[in-house]
Structure formats: C-alpha cells, structure tokens
Structure 1
C-alpha cells in the first residue's frame, strides 16, 4: 500500500490580530518530505502514530508536509493554499490517507479549512479510505463528515492523548482495509457555544460527556468523540459536536451521537464560564501568596497563547503591580520591539522601555504600553526541548528571548507568542519558576500539568484580551443564530 500521511494544525481565532503567514507553521515554515517524517517520528503527535501504524503494515509512506502553528488570526490565503496543495498533489496514486488535523482552521479564503481540504482529497481519491485525527476543540462541519471514513478526536484537555487518537484512527482505517470493520460516521451538533475553561475533561459536564463516549465505545461503537468546538471563530457553527463511528450501522451511530448530544444540551449552562472582575481575582491570588512557600499561579486566560492571544495584554501584570505584589515571574510576553531593545543593551544593562499593549490585543479598549525600568538579566535564542507531558521531546521556539528584572518582577519577553507548557520556558533563560511568589502565565490549560504540581494555588484571571471568556466583547457576524448562551431561548 502507498499511504499519504500529513499534518496540518491551526486553531483560528478570527478576532485575533496575530498574523498567520506560512512562516508561522514551524520554526521557519512547514517541514516537507523527509523532514516532515523526521519531525514527527518518535514524537507524541497523531502523525507519529500514523507513521508507526503504516510502518507496521509495511506500507510505502508519503509525508508531503507537517505544518503546525500556534493559534492566531486567520491563516493567510497563500499559506493555506501552499499546505493544502502539497497534500493534494501528493495524494495522486495513493491507496489510503491519514491526516493529523486540528479541525478549527479558518483561512482568508476558507471558513472551513479542514472540510475544504478533505473535499479536495476525496475528489482526487474517491475510493481510498481517509482517516482523520482531530483536536478536541475542532469545529466539525458537514464537509468533514462527508469526506472522511474515520474521524477520531482527542479525549483529554489538557491534551495528552494526541498519539493515542492517531493510533485509534489508524487502527480503524486498517480494519476497514483488511475487511475487519465497515466504519460508518454520524454526528450531532447542538447550537451551543462552549467556553474553553469548561471543556476540561477532568471535571464537570465535559468529563461526563467523555465518559458517555467511552461507554458507547465499550458497547460497540468503533469510536465516539466529543468535540467542544472553538467558539472564538466567527463562522456559521463553532459549536460542540459529537461524532460517532459505527461498524456498518449508520443509524445506530446516529442514535448514539444524538443521545450524548442531548445529554450535553440538557446541562448546557455547565459549559458556560463566568469570569470574576480582574481586581478580585488578583486579590484572591495575593491572599493565597501571603504565607509564601510555593508559587501562586495567576492564569491570564483572557490573553491565552493557545487560543490566539497576542500575549502582550498587560492587564493582569498591571493589576498585580497596583496591588503591591512582588516576587513575580511573568511571561512569555510577546514584544519583538522590546526584545530588540533588551538584546542590544545586553546583559547587565539598566533599561527603561515600553512593554506590551502594542498589538491591539485588548478586546475591550486599547491601552498604552507599560513603562518598565530594570536590569537585563538574560538574552537567549529562546529555544528549549519540551520535557512533557504535552509534545514531549519536541524542540520549542520562542524567538529571541530576554529577561528584564525590575526588582519586584522578572519579565520574560519573546519575539513569538508562546504557551508556557514546560518549565523550560523559564529555565532556558535562567529563571527557576519554583522560586517565584507569583507566576503570571498567559495560559488556560496547557500549563497545568507542569505548573500546578509546583504551585500552592491557582487563580483564573480574565484580562479582557482577544481570548476573553466574555462573549459580549466580540462581534459575531457569520454565526448562525439562535445559539446558546448568546440567545438564552435557543432550542434544539
């Protein structure tokens, strides 16, 4: 068999001003051919699982591209076309396809990035089996359902089962190839926008929905995925979905999807997150930190890198300084201008400069940069290797990085937006985060598996950035109404 295996990952926040050119997909753009293979082999990605499964089958493997970018604004049309064209052109003559996709990509020329790609691949290979792994936050569409034979999503958030979802999808595809199963897909999508902070699979309604999905798999469904959707995409339906792969019985799959989706809809208010006023959140963190000891995490989910945040909204840091907090470590803050200034000054120099609030990242109203004075304590290339559990072993790139020590705070500034999903974010610039009194991180969930174990407490802070949990800050123009919670009388 000749099998096409590729990766195209991007979660698009259509309200984000962060640009997404081709160069954003990797250190300097996507990896192609053998480089795409090497970038994934041995890693914890779905594409790595596809490669392993295909190699066990003795298949001829084609890996045209591996392209993954941090969440940001709509993907540039040229970038989207380049990645898709690489995949479609490589599909010619292949016997099967396995794609590692996010599921919530919006491009300048496509509101349904994955659906349009799958439609093109299906047109090229009308009879070949197509298996897809999706992120738990995928915005599923009818095009995606119509043009794939197998769809499996992550079942964890924070995501730690990317490889496992790929292995599951690959297993079902090869079961189809060898006649051991006949995958049949059905899906259901209630008109429900979920808050990302309510899509954690560790507790609450989302945990119960995933448990129902696992129960349906034990009862005979080949795969059941609950996809919370990504609501900060202004498309027709960035809503929660249930996708079921049955074995030859589409009607049974449809009943399972409907049952789980109804369970979700009946407790829809549990998918809604209400933010506390920022001053109250920071004060709560200050109270937790009075006894010293381990750091207190202040999570700035309103400017969350992995939801398309600018990483330069200074609201939480400013409020912390206003309330007299010290022993602060914060970052990574994305400000290429500040990095250039600090790098030019060099380690040991005393510098006064403006930091942050430069990329129109505040969804409420623009604010001026924060003027800071301090000593440059580190300048690095911003690279480190992730220790896990997310993306274990992969090399991470923050762009050039610098640290400004103001006395009350050590501020990590980088050229790129970057999720603090590893202690290496700070350790690579000479900061031991365990020694901080307060860690202000621009994160919702990905930081938690690593930073919660070293902390004495955690407070969620909504900075009113472009990833805020306040839907009222955003003007939806394409969204199909009515939809809950924007329309409390929405029905399904």
Structure 2
C-alpha cells in the first residue's frame, strides 16, 4: 500500500477574543515530513500512523503536521495556506505513484474566518481531486461531526476517552479499517444521529464512564466496524455544534442505524446526569479544608485547552483573601511576568502584576510581592504521552498575611496536564494541602497519582457551563439543556445514513 499522511488540527472557540494565526501553529512545531521531531497531539497520531504503516511494509508519504493550542477563529489566509500545502503535497505524491490511502489527523472543531467546517472543506478538496482514494480521518471527540466530513471520507473515527488517552489506539483502528477498505474486504456504511444535546462529558466518571464501556461493547456486535460519540465542542457558534453518534458497519445499513439510535437514546436518557454539576470556588475550598491529603481542584473556566487565556485571577484572588497556606496554583500564562522574573534572577524579591491581561473574562490583574524561587528557560510537562513545551517558566512564592502560595507562571499558553508542570520547577506536591490547576478534565490522568481527591470547579471566566445561555446563531434552539426534552418537541431524531458506494445520504426514521 502507498499511504499519504497529514495533520492539521486546532479546536476553535468562536467566542474567544484573539485569533489563531500562523504563530500559533509554529509555536508547537509546524513541520513537513518530520512529525517525530515535534510534540503535539497531531504529531503523536502521525507518528503512530507512520510506525504502523512502515512496519507493515507500506510506502509512506508524510506531509504537513500542524497543531495549534485552542483559541479563536483561524485567520483565513493561514488556514488556506496550510490546507493548500497538504493538497499540493498530495498532488505531488500522486504524480510519482498512485496513493491508495489518505490518513488525516484532524480535530473536527476547526473554524476559520469564512469557513465554519475546515475539516469538511479540506476533505471536499481531496475527494474532488482524487475520487477513488480511500480517506480515513481521526478526530478529537470534541468535534462537530458534519455530514460533509462523512460524505467525503470513507472512515471517520473519534477518540473515545476524555481525557484523551486513546489516540494511538484509534489511529491503529483507523489504519486497519482503511487498509481493509482499500483491499475491498469491507464496504463501510455510516449512520449518524444528532442527539440534540450540548454538553461536556468527562469519561473517567459516571455516567459517561459506563457509556463508553457500552460503546466499546457495541463494536463487538456482528458487522459493526466502529462506533464513536462526538461530544461536540460547546464553545463554538457553528451549525453542527452538539453531541452526535456515529456507527460504521460492513455493508449493513440497518445494523448501523439501529446501533446509532440505541446509543443516542442511551445518552439522551442520561442527559440530566451528564450535565456538569460543579461546586463554585468558595464551596470547593470549604469542602477541601476538611479532607485528608492533597486535594486537586481545576479552574474549569480558565482552561487554555478550551480556548481560554490561562491568566484568570479569580481563583488566586480568593485564595489570597483567605490567607491560604500550603497551596500551589498554575499554570498562569503571563510571559511578561516570566520575563521580568528571569531578569531579576532566583532569590529576587520584587513586585509583579500577575494575570488579568487578556480581557474581561480574565478578571483584574493582581499586584503581588513575590520571591523568585526557580527559573526554567525551557520548561515542559508530560501531556498524554508526549512532552509539551511551556517555554520560559518561573516558580513564584507569594506571601500575604499568614498565607503562602506557590505559583507557576509560563510563557507558552497551555492547560495544566501533569504534576511535573510544578515538580519540574522544584515545587513538591506531596506535602501540599491544595493544588489548583488551570484545566478542565485532562489533568485527571496525570494528577491521579498525586491527589487524594480531585474535582473541577465552576469558576468565572471564558468557559461558562450554562450552555443554554450561550449565544448560538447558527443552529436552532431546540437542544438540551435549553429545552428539557427536545425529543418531545421535535420527535426522536432520525439517523442519517451514508453509503460510500453511492456517496449519498438518506434519512432513516
């Protein structure tokens, strides 16, 4: 087999105040034919594709590997340049020898100026250029699973876990199914059901943990090739925002429809239990005060992994007013403070104005007198199997009243994944009573070994959990939680059925 591979991924928060430009991609290593040299989710998938294909004796053509931290809409010319680079590489590969399979590591929630479905746009171009090639796509489960994506690709698979601990497994699954499709051993048929739900569903906790177990069991049924739940990315005003179920079978449309509708019904029945139910800051701090060992709390609304800035001051201000002791908090995205502290040097005592620089959602800056405890010119953290750069980073110690708080400040915007974001600077967490991380769910995988208990906190900031109040303009308002029972209003949703042999959609009741 001759296999062409490329990656282009970012998760777009259309409500975020700053755009995603070329620098956002180069920050994570924008490369061609060199995915193994950078650390990003896209690179991890690309490396898995390459390793599996080469071990099977396939001829591999590696194109672009591009990933950006979630932010606002991608600048149009930047998206088009990256898209066209992939298309040019594919054209060039085809002139040398036929390509059997195109494998793409995408996100599924990338929005550019003038293009609400970047993945569907890229796939449409590829399909128009090369109608017979088998196209396989791996998506983040926070994708907007559009009919355009499914009509242009042959196999689409989303991660099953949030935190995303199964990217490599899904990559292997995708390559296997694409290979079998190219060889004519299977004939994929896809059924898609829109649950009319909008939400966020961590899979390390019930009820979503059990639903993922059921999803895996679904794949063991005769004829079922793959089953995915696209959670959707709520912080995007696009037509396809929401939770959808995708089932792919081997030439069995009735099985695909039945399985997709069964799983959609399972999610819908659990919709109230799946709603985020997080305590606020004050409630969380009162509860944590009476608990043994180290408690890890997540500042949900300031998660850079969802497009927030990572410089919100609300949680830190509350800790300061309570004279909190034996606490660590991070990671604050504040390159200016990091640079000033680097110039001052370890041991310096100086005033800084921390955070609150990115807009109203970040709150007001906090003026602190701090001691510079450590400096790392090129700090990094473990992140779901790879290393993520945090750039110039500093450990600051702030004393106020009787309180003492250790603060991690970074220069490359990133959510907090792992304890080594702290320990790599010398902050010992095992003795901490409280650790506050700027994340939503991905921290759970890394901090499980440190925390006696942990939970996400409903905080002020960019990522608000009242999805019913978000100003969606591109889709209708008949969704849960804006409406308690949208199926009663609209009827049980039909399944959209796609057959690659005709490349047409039909609706099945």
Fold-level similarity (TM above 0.5): yes
Q: Quick one: structure 1 residues 474 and 30, their matched pair in 2 at CA, closer, same or farther if it must change by over 3 Å?
A: same
Q: Over residues 218-274 of structure 1, what are the superposed CA-to-partner deviations in whole Å (9 max), with x where a residue is unaligned?
A: 112000111211111111131111111110123321221122112212222222113
Q: Distance in 2 between matches of 1:222 and 1:304?
A: 34
Shift of 1:473: 6.0
Q: Quick one: structure 1 residues 315 and 385, their matched pair in 2 at CA, closer, same or farther if it must change by over 3 Å?
A: closer
Shift of 1:37: 4.9
Q: Distance in 1 between matches of 2:426 and 2:379?
A: 13
1:21 maps to 2:21: yes
TM-score between the two structures when normalised by the length of structure 1: 0.91
Q: Which of residues 178, 183, 187 is equivalent to 2:192? A: 187
Shift of 1:297: 0.9
Shift of 1:147: 0.7
For 1:6, the equivalent position in structure 2 comes to 6
Q: Which of residues 214, 221, 235 is equivalent to 1:232? A: 235
Q: Distance in 2 between matches of 1:65 and 1:278?
A: 42
Superposition pairs for residues 34-433 of structure 1, below 5 Å? Answer: 35-39=34-38, 45-92=44-91, 93=94, 94-194=99-199, 196=200, 199-220=201-222, 221-288=224-291, 294-360=293-359, 362=361, 367-384=363-380, 386=382, 390=384, 392=385, 394-407=386-399, 408-433=404-429
Q: Quick one: structure 1 residues 282 and 382, their matched pair in 2 at CA, closer, same or farther if it must change by over 3 Å?
A: farther
Q: Distance in 1 between matches of 2:261 and 2:444?
A: 32
1:476 maps to 2:476: no
Q: Distance in 2 between matches of 1:470 and 1:43?
A: 30
Question: Is the contact made by 1:313 and 1:463 (CA closer than 8 Å) also made in structure 2?
Answer: no
Q: Which of residues 439, 442, 445 is equivalent to 1:443? A: 439
SS of the residue 2:191 aligns to: strand
Q: Quick one: structure 1 residues 295 and 369, their matched pair in 2 at CA, closer, same or farther if it must change by over 3 Å?
A: same
Shift of 1:17: 2.4
For 2:459, the equivalent position in structure 1 comes to 463
Q: Quick one: structure 1 residues 425 and 277, their matched pair in 2 at CA, closer, same or farther if it must change by over 3 Å?
A: closer
SS of the residue 1:333 aligns to: strand
TM-score between the two structures when normalised by the length of structure 2: 0.88
The number of residue pairs the alignment matches comes to 477
Q: Distance in 1 between matches of 2:240 and 2:267?
A: 16
Shift of 1:2: 2.8
Shift of 1:41: 12
Shift of 1:476: 2.3
SS of the residue 2:454 aligns to: strand
SS of the residue 1:106 aligns to: coil
Q: Which moved more, 1:154-163 or 1:42-51?
A: 42-51
Q: Over residues 382-405 of structure 1, what are the superposed CA-to-partner deviations in whole Å (9 max), with x where a residue is unaligned?
A: 33362x6x1x2x332112112221
Q: Distance in 1 between matches of 2:243 and 2:468?
A: 19
Q: Distance in 1 between matches of 2:40 and 2:339?
A: 35
Question: Is the contact made by 1:84 and 1:117 (CA closer than 8 Å) also made in structure 2?
Answer: yes
Shift of 1:276: 2.7
Q: Which moved more, 1:103-112 or 1:47-56?
A: 47-56
Unmatched 5+ stretches in structure 2: 493-509
Shift of 1:89: 1.5
Question: Is the contact made by 1:464 and 1:470 (CA closer than 8 Å) also made in structure 2?
Answer: no
Question: Is the contact made by 2:7 and 2:46 (CA closer than 8 Å) also made in structure 1?
Answer: yes
Q: Distance in 2 between matches of 1:371 and 1:309?
A: 22
Q: Over residues 104-149 of structure 1, what are the superposed CA-to-partner deviations in whole Å (9 max), with x where a residue is unaligned?
A: 1111231112111111111111110001111121110011110110
Question: Is the contact made by 1:309 and 1:361 (CA closer than 8 Å) also made in structure 2?
Answer: no
Q: Over residues 408-450 of structure 1, what are the superposed CA-to-partner deviations in whole Å (9 max), with x where a residue is unaligned?
A: 1111111122122122212222222223221110112211122
Unmatched 5+ stretches in structure 1: none
Q: Distance in 1 between matches of 2:25 and 2:420?
A: 21
Q: Distance in 2 between matches of 1:117 and 1:156?
A: 25
Q: Quick one: structure 1 residues 361 and 162, their matched pair in 2 at CA, closer, same or farther if it must change by over 3 Å?
A: farther
Question: Is the contact made by 2:312 and 2:461 (CA closer than 8 Å) also made in structure 1?
Answer: yes
Q: Distance in 1 between matches of 2:254 and 2:84?
A: 35
Question: Is the contact made by 2:187 and 2:250 (CA closer than 8 Å) also made in structure 1?
Answer: yes
The structure where strand makes up a greater share of residues is: 2
Question: Is the contact made by 2:15 and 2:72 (CA closer than 8 Å) also made in structure 1?
Answer: yes
Q: Quick one: structure 1 residues 27 and 2, their matched pair in 2 at CA, closer, same or farther if it must change by over 3 Å?
A: same
Shift of 1:28: 5.6
Q: Distance in 1 between matches of 2:315 and 2:41?
A: 38
